[in-house]
Structure 1
Amino acid sequence: MTFKHMTIAAGFAATTFILSTAAAFATSAQSTAALNVRTGPGTSFSVVDTLTPGENVEINECAENGWCYIEHEGPDGWVSSNYLEPVSGGSSGGSGEDCSFSFNIGSGGPSLSINCGDSGGAPADPAPAPDPDPAPPAGNVACFYTGPNFTGSEFCHGPAVLNTLDGTFNDNIASVKLYGSAKARLCRNANLGGICKNYTSSKSSLPVSIRNKASSLRIFTGFIPVPLPVAPVTHSTGPINLKSSFMANLDNGNVGSPGADIWYHAVNPVEKYIEPRNGAKLALGDKSNRGYAGCKTESFSSNPISIWAMPVGSYVCVKTNQGRISQFRLNGYAGTTMKLGYTTWK
């Protein structure tokens, strides 16, 4: 088999592509691997698309570092010529021949040639190998992008919790690509707070509920982690000395004030009740100390509770007329005055 050396040019007459004077011609090539298409000639530029192995492209110009500008059906951009070859059976090299591209830098600038068959002449001076486009991350890794379809600025991370994001990605993640067994949880607020969304496969465009709204995230494998319970925040707490026929406001601990939640109603010396007021509701339940979480799930009622049903040491859950969860304990009596201790949560 003879050696044929064909240099790409308009009608294959010129020998050089020079970046500063982009040629007005193109030659066909195909990708040898999954290859990122970038906005400029190097890996520091953002990704705009990805070629599939064997995908046909047109080469328009090349830079001195071995990167070439290509056009194809997707967004156009720059790729490393290390991962391009002549189109199989195309006119550049002849059907069935072993052809490859050769990138060289001479006195006139960079040139890209097609070599077919066994070399019978002196090989061209080898050019410094350009930095290849990075291969997909190995292992369980999640990559996040500021643009849809895995474009724009990118960062990748293995399993971890990122309670905050830097200025480039905070409220600015539009797509997610997952590798290996990696999964991702994106949350609107810092520290995995607010609305969160879980993803077990890549998403080329996140839904509007989380797109460009994430401020923290978690990369994990295995089962989707159960969110930690929200720690209750105390709104008001303290003792209340509730005299017979008086009312108490559990949103602020005041006795006899407007907006009261409970009334110590003495019908007579024997028949006495704790009654909800102004839309508040009560739940005696099992009289145990249930705290915020337990009281929140109680079945509340507008019915009064007889004081004989709540001996000293009993806890009563309350939903205040402001909609807050509260709980008070009957600590004892001083005469007919009920000595209560209460806590109301936000």
Structure 2
Amino acid sequence: MTFKQLMTAAGFAATTFILSTAAAYATSAKSTTALNVRNGPGTSFSVVDTLTPGEVVEVNECAENGWCYIEHEGPDGWVSSNYLEPASGGPSGGAAEDCSFSFNIGSGGPSLNINCGGSSGGGSPTPTPTPDPAPPSGNVACFYTGSNFTGSEFCHGPAVLNTLDGTFNDNIASVKLHGSAKVRLCRNANLSGLCKNYTSSQTHLPVAIRNKASSLRIFTGFIPVPLPTPTPTPPVTHSTGPINLKSSFMANLDNGNVGSAGADIWYHAVNPVEKYIEPRNGAKLALGDRSNRGYNGCKTESFSSTPISIWEMPVGSYVCVKTNEGRISQFRLNGYAGTTMKLGYTTWQ
């Protein structure tokens, strides 16, 4: 029975027609989508052409992974059989590998299956091959972990990606640009460090940036000029020095004076065991990790009006303070002389 007879015969709503068993034949098929034609059986091979949806080709041989070699009006090569369906007509003859072509006729219409490296009757079905996606449309950049657009891939339209995930961070080896897309690759996060701009696809990035990019920008039009990194202004010290703080006394960290006037901290001895450093007059404390955080570290701390037990402050601990005049300050517990705390402090302007 010919394929055309099978298509028109009644009572064969779910029949499978095998074009070849022990030997394979060339057969006509057509593409169901815009389909890449590659120079080898898999997505790691280079694209040599693209089939248009509905384009008719001749399938001559198939690999065990479901990729088939086709001939058409254009460069011949390999395509994923997952995106082929039967064309009108039957086998056209010709040599191929030991593969069989199966046409399934169901309620949704005909579909093409290729069986390679095994028997055509009753065996386990060939796994569906990995789809070969159509080329992205629009202004898109695609990034690959291997040279010549191989390995893991991700594609993205115009955007700033200040960090990359674990698969692609320090692991981009080639870039393919589509449409008017351009790309800026940078060694460090947030588009910092050494950066390189590319306006055309790169099959093999230069060693200065290959497998070193941690952030990127995809754009169109003019190449963006990076803004200069501002030079941080060092903090200005307002007051600094030692403070000998006796039990039940207070200290002003804006000027280093001991006494109640304008006090920021109080060495509160509830009893010989319960002793605290308490904030006064609207000042606030942050014990944090007790390390020397300086102006920048203390500025970002979470301040609180909660007293700090001296048992949480072993000798060598640093405490950040926001004074009642709004300045950032830090003191260190240098030790004790009897019950007197020996502190060293710095308050910044």
Q: TM-score range by the shorter chain?
A: 0.3 to 0.5
TM-score, normalised with respect to structure 1: 0.43
Task: State the TM-score, normalized to the length of structure 2.
Answer: 0.42
